[in-house]
Amino acid sequence: MNLEVLVFYLFASITVAAAVMVISARNPVHSVLFLILAFFNAAGLFLLCGAEFLAMILVIVYVGAVAVLFLFVVMMLDINFAELRQGFLQYLPIGGLIGVILLVELALVLGSWTILPSAGGVAAAQTPAIGDITNTDALGRILYTHYLLPFQLAGMILLVAMVGAIVLTLRARPGVRRQSISAQNARTKELAAELKKVSSGQGV
């Protein structure tokens, strides 16, 4: 068997197994760790496609930042594991439905490429020949040259969402003593301490 195919099946099977473990692990911290394993193997799959930039970005953004925050939150939660398991069957139909919808959508997209060759042409448009330039370069051209405005718009939407989240959770609490770094740094020896000459037996 071809080595590349063998490696693909290795990565793919670990990804699927880790994904199953994410939802079946008893301990939520273990779930997050399996999620990280799944991300890693997905990055490996990207590498196999020759998309090294996407692979690295997946590791940096999802494993290096997002999953750290997940782990951070999950570790601090005080969870009753037995209680958590009870809701599993209750939410199974909804979760299953969402899964099926995603699967159908994926099948429709991929199916349209094979059924309608012209649709495949649209999907593959503007892609420079591989080998001509690195895929970092190719992605840069697509995002910053061909689709600059939509890309900037997506960035703006994310910014607005972030500002919105901060505004929603920010509350002004009265009576909180705040630290002023500049005031602290501006303090001198003369302001902070007073020297007194104390004659013995008299006190200050």
Partner 1 sequence: MVDASPMTGTEMMVELALIVAKILAIVVPLLIAVAYATLLDRKVWAMMQLRRGPNVVGIFGLLQPFADGLKLLTKETIIPAGANKGVFLLAPVLTFTLAMIAWAVIPFGDGLVLADINVGVLYLFAISSLGVYGIIMGGWASNSRYPFLGGLRSAAQMVSYEVSIGFVIITVLLCVGSLNLNDVVKAQEHVWFAIPLFPMFVVFFISALAETNRPPFDLPEAESELVAGYQIEYSSMSFALFMLGEYANMILMSAMTAILFLGGWQPISIFGLLDWIPGPIWFLGKIFAVLFVMCWVKATVPRYRYDQLMRLGWKVFLPLSLFWVVLTAGVLVGFGWLPVKG
> How far apart (Å, rounded) are the C-alpha atoms in residues 79 and 125?
49
User: With respect to partner 1, which residue has the nearer C-beta, 49 or 163?
Assistant: 49
Which residue number, 89 or 181, has a Cβ lying nearer to partner 1? 181
End-to-end Cα distance, the chain: 92
Q: Is the dihedral of CA 155, 160, 163, 168 positive or negative?
A: negative
Q: Nearer to partner 1 by C-beta: 133 or 159? A: 133
Choose between 15 and 33: whose C-beta lies nearer to partner 1: 33
User: Binding to partner 1 (CB under 8 A): which residues in 26-85?
Assistant: 27, 29-30, 33, 36, 47-50, 52-53, 56-57, 59-60, 63-65, 68-69, 71-72, 75-76
Task: Judge contact between 71 and 29, C-beta under 8 A.
Answer: yes
Interaction of residue 14 with partner 1, rule CB under 8 A: no
Among the listed residues 67, 60, 53, 65, the one whose alpha carbon sits nearest the alpha carbon of residue 18 = 67
How many chain residues are in contact with partner 1, going by CB under 8 A? 35
Min CB(190)–partner 1 separation in Å: 23
143 binds partner 1 per the rule CB under 8 A: no
Residue type, 1: M
Q: What is the rounded distance in angstroms from the CA atom of residue 21 to the CA atom of residue 59?
A: 20
**Strand locations in the chain (E):** none
If the CB atoms of residues 105 and 137 are measured against partner 1, the closer one turns out to be 137
Check binding of 180 to partner 1 (CB under 8 A).
no
Provide the minimum distance between the beta carbon of 200 and partner 1 in the complex, in angstroms, as a whole number: 36
Rounded CA-CA distance 185/183 in Å is 5
CB within 8 Å of 126: residues ≥ 6 apart: 142, 146
Amino acid type, 182: S
Interface residues toward partner 1, by CB under 8 A: 2-4, 27, 29-30, 33, 36, 47-50, 52-53, 56-57, 59-60, 63-65, 68-69, 71-72, 75-76, 132-137, 179, 181
